[in-house]
Amino acid sequence: MRAISQRSFGEPAVLQPVDLPTPVPLPSEVLVRVRSTAVNPVDAMVRSGTFRMLGEPPFVLGWDISGVVEEVVPGVTRFEVGDEVYGMPFFPRAGNAYAEYVAVPSRQLARKPTTIDHDHAAALPLVGLTAWQALVDSANVRPGQRVLIHAGGGGVGHLAVQIAKARGAHVTATASAAKQDFVRSLGADEVVDYRGTDFTEKVGDLDVVLDTVGGPVGPRSIGVLRPGGLLLTIVDRTDTALRAATISAGRRFAGVTVEPDYVGLEALAKLVDEGRLMPFVEHTLPLEQAAVAHELIESGRTQGKIVLSV
Amino acid sequence: MRAISQRSFGEPAVLQPVDLPTPVPLPSEVLVRVRSTAVNPVDAMVRSGTFRMLGEPPFVLGWDISGVVEEVVPGVTRFEVGDEVYGMPFFPRAGNAYAEYVAVPSRQLARKPTTIDHDHAAALPLVGLTAWQALVDSANVRPGQRVLIHAGGGGVGHLAVQIAKARGAHVTATASAAKQDFVRSLGADEVVDYRGTDFTEKVGDLDVVLDTVGGPVGPRSIGVLRPGGLLLTIVDRTDTALRAATISAGRRFAGVTVEPDYVGLEALAKLVDEGRLMPFVEHTLPLEQAAVAHELIESGRTQGKIVLSV
């Protein structure tokens, strides 16, 4: 089958088309014909060697997939051949998703949302589950709560804004001037230009803040939380000083990672099909141009997800 | 850390105590100090080389664990250090559970039932999830349905009887004469001695049959199902002739495997703590006697689970 692999850490050019054996699914797994796979910032960090979570090359990057069930190992009852599915298999271990086929445990997949195409469905799992596991599984955001999403126009942020709104929260988001209209279109009640304005002067007494930016944003967010409010961060989860400062200020702290979960995927698909959640895809490229996709994501100039069509 | 490994396929004696590095949990994972791990028939098949699902040795067998969270990677919010947890990590890939410590994705664990000890909790995941995923996830057994469990005194069977009863079904179980009282004590409404009696003369018009025995039991079960009834098998899931015969007789067929799932583990723990589900542990041995545990399980004379205390 066609796949993209690398023999060494390095620049995007290390990503090369290869021919690999089609994986053989084990009991409880299905074989998925990948239609689309998304590129995430973590992919570039693993490719370059900055974050060596897959060990030494060669390996096949990628986790986000949307595709069609090609083969079901006898004993799997959740899916049938031909079902459209999506997911983020095996993260943070090797997902092997930059490929024509992947073998996936059936409970790491859910049915693809029916109202969007494979490119958009592939854009959803990693960033969507990150937002869901932060705002719902960890924070249990409830109707009427006041929530601040930092970088509400970003990869995780634009989904977090929509999820918090779908949960009935009052949502403020920070965004650059160029993204104000986009973030407002997502349903944000208030948008704060983080360049022109000091967000700490615009909001306060919040129940939940989600930091997707890092750096000074986390420490400065403590003071806008109500006593007992929760600071979520997907960036500085290992920052023990930030954790300590938050707790000593009488607020709560939770670093959040992301993990495969069909329950979350089903919840996200339901929101999409209800018209309450839509991922923003900026570029779609053929799988063979994975290196170009990595150049784009490392440029820092993309606004939405980059998807590879397989 | 202490672990049990093997350098070659073979008899139980290939299982040897070894000293291995303590695993390092990745983002989204926790490190569990294993207190108990259970031995399943599949372990013996992998050890001997009959079923090579882990590839070539060396490897560390085992999936079922109950233990205590020793370390939480920053970003995991489902558990804290000191929480008692149980699960069946990574099945059917390497679970590495015959060991003092295992690194486990947080969503492949659930809180251990509080009313049973680690030995009993470790006895539950693989067989309990097998029964749950067959009867609940695949068959959706409902109150008033008529269910037959083959080998209701066996490893999966004794939990299947209790789960079907907890779902409100009318449960018939087959069992040898020696296990009649045991299976009755599990709540079975009727028990059929499968040596002295032909079960097809005792039951009929059933909604669901669960075959945990295999061989002629599957084909003979087709006729005791009502039209549209469901034959579940955890043994002959790849038997295309049995599938075809069942379907051509106007009944439904589902082979079932087992897969990690915190939703199922949470449901099982709830049943245990409500006093409606109890795994039967027959032997508890120290981890270092894993070879003895394998001899016992291969003798065919054990009636309940064999647990290794770590």
Q: Where are the alpha helices (DSSP H) in chain A?
A: 41-48, 118-122, 125-132, 157-166, 180-185, 199-202, 217-221, 240-248, 262-273, 290-299
Residues for chain B: how many in total? 310
User: What's the pLDDT band for A194 if we cut at 50, 70, 90?
Assistant: confident
- The pLDDT assigned to B45 comes to 96
CA distance A34 to B86: 33
Strands ordered across the beta sheet of A170-175: A190-193, A170-175, A146-149, A206-211, A225-233, A252-255
Domain boundaries defined on chain B? 2-124+279-309, 127-255
| Confidence check: pLDDT of A235 > 90 | yes
| Span A57-86, average pLDDT | 97
Say if residue B260 is preceded by a cis peptide, omega within 30 of 0: no
- The pLDDT assigned to B304 comes to 87
- The pLDDT assigned to A195 comes to 84
Cβ–Cβ below 8 Å for A258 and B26: no
CA distance A277 to B224: 48
The per-residue pLDDT for range A100-119, each reduced to its tens digit, is: 999 999 999 999 999 999 99
* CA atoms in the 13 A half-sphere facing the CB of A141: 31
Angstroms from A234 CA to nearest CA on chain B? 8
**Under 8 Å between Cβ of B162 and B124:** no
- Helix (H) or strand (E) holding A13, with range, is none
Q: What are phi and psi of A50, to 5 degrees?
A: -65, -40
Angstroms from A24 CA to nearest CA on chain B? 11
Residue written as token pair 């290939």: B14
Q: Which residues pair with B208 in a beta bridge?
A: B147, B230
How does DSSP classify residue A193? E
- The pLDDT assigned to A247 comes to 97
The per-residue pLDDT for range A206-225, each reduced to its tens digit, is: 999 999 999 999 999 999 99
The per-residue pLDDT for range A150-187, each reduced to its tens digit, is: 999 999 999 999 999 999 999 999 999 999 999 999 99
First to last CA, chain B: 11
* Encoded tokens for B42: 């599949």
Angstroms from A211 CA to nearest CA on chain B? 13
- The pLDDT assigned to B142 comes to 98
Neighbour-count burial of A18, counting CB atoms closer than 10 A to its CB (0-12 exposed, 13-18 middle, 19+ buried): middle
Q: Where are the alpha helices (DSSP H) in B69-198?
A: 118-122, 125-132, 157-166, 180-185
Distance of CA A178 to the CA centre of its chain: 22
Domains B2-124+279-309 and B127-255 share a fold: no
- The pLDDT assigned to A302 comes to 79
Mean pLDDT per 10-residue section of chain B, whose length is 310 residues:
98 98 96 98 96 95 98 95 98 96 98 98 98 98 98 95 98 94 97 90 96 96 98 95 98 96 98 98 97 94 91
* Encoded tokens for A274: 């209800």
| Span A183-211, average pLDDT | 94
CA distance B221 to B210: 9
The chain A residue lying nearest B262, using CA atoms, is A261
The per-residue pLDDT for range A274-306, each reduced to its tens digit, is: 999 999 999 999 999 999 999 999 997 778 899
Question: Which residues in B lie closer than 8 A to residue A76 (C-beta atoms)?
Answer: 257
Least reliable range by pLDDT among A18-22, A31-35, B277-281, B297-301: B297-301
Neighbour-count burial of A2, counting CB atoms closer than 10 A to its CB (0-12 exposed, 13-18 middle, 19+ buried): middle
Secondary structure of residue A283 in the 3-state scheme: strand
CA distance B38 to B35: 10
Distance of CA A262 to the CA centre of its chain: 14
Cβ–Cβ below 8 Å for B106 and A258: no
* CA atoms in the 13 A half-sphere facing the CB of B23: 25
The angle at the Cα of A178, spanning A175 to A183, to the nearest 5 degrees, equals 50
Pick the CATH number of A2-124+279-309 from 1.20.1260.10, 3.50.50.60, 3.65.10.10, 3.90.180.10: 3.90.180.10
* Percentage of residues of chain A with pLDDT beyond 70: 100
- The pLDDT assigned to A170 comes to 98
- Helix (H) or strand (E) holding A146, with range, is strand A146-149
The per-residue pLDDT for range B194-205, each reduced to its tens digit, is: 887 899 999 999
CA distance B129 to B171: 19
User: What's the pLDDT band for A227 if we cut at 50, 70, 90?
Assistant: very high
- The pLDDT assigned to B35 comes to 98
- The pLDDT assigned to A196 comes to 79
The per-residue pLDDT for range B33-67, each reduced to its tens digit, is: 999 999 999 999 999 999 999 999 999 999 999 99
Domain A127-255 has CATH 1.10.630.10: no
Question: Which residues in A lie closer than 8 A to residue B234 (C-beta atoms)?
Answer: 75
Chain B interface mutation, best of A30, A45, A76, highest count of B Cβ atoms under 10 Å: A76
Q: Closest Cα to residue B83, out of B269, B285, B271?
A: B269
User: What's the pLDDT band for A18 if we cut at 50, 70, 90?
Assistant: very high
A interface with B, Cβ–Cβ < 8 A, is: 26-29, 53, 73-78, 91-93, 105-107, 133, 137-138, 234, 237-238, 254-261, 263
Question: Which residues in B lie closer than 8 A to residue A105 (C-beta atoms)?
Answer: 259-260
| Confidence check: pLDDT of A248 > 90 | yes
> Closest partner residue to A255 among B29, B74, B92, by Cβ?
B74
Cβ–Cβ below 8 Å for B260 and A26: no
User: Which residue type sits at A235?
Assistant: V
User: Which residue type sits at B150?
Assistant: H
Chain B interface mutation, best of A130, A235, A257, A262, highest count of B Cβ atoms under 10 Å: A257
- The pLDDT assigned to A301 comes to 79
Q: Which residues pair with B110 in a beta bridge?
A: B86
Q: Closest Cα to residue A98, out of A8, A4, A31?
A: A4
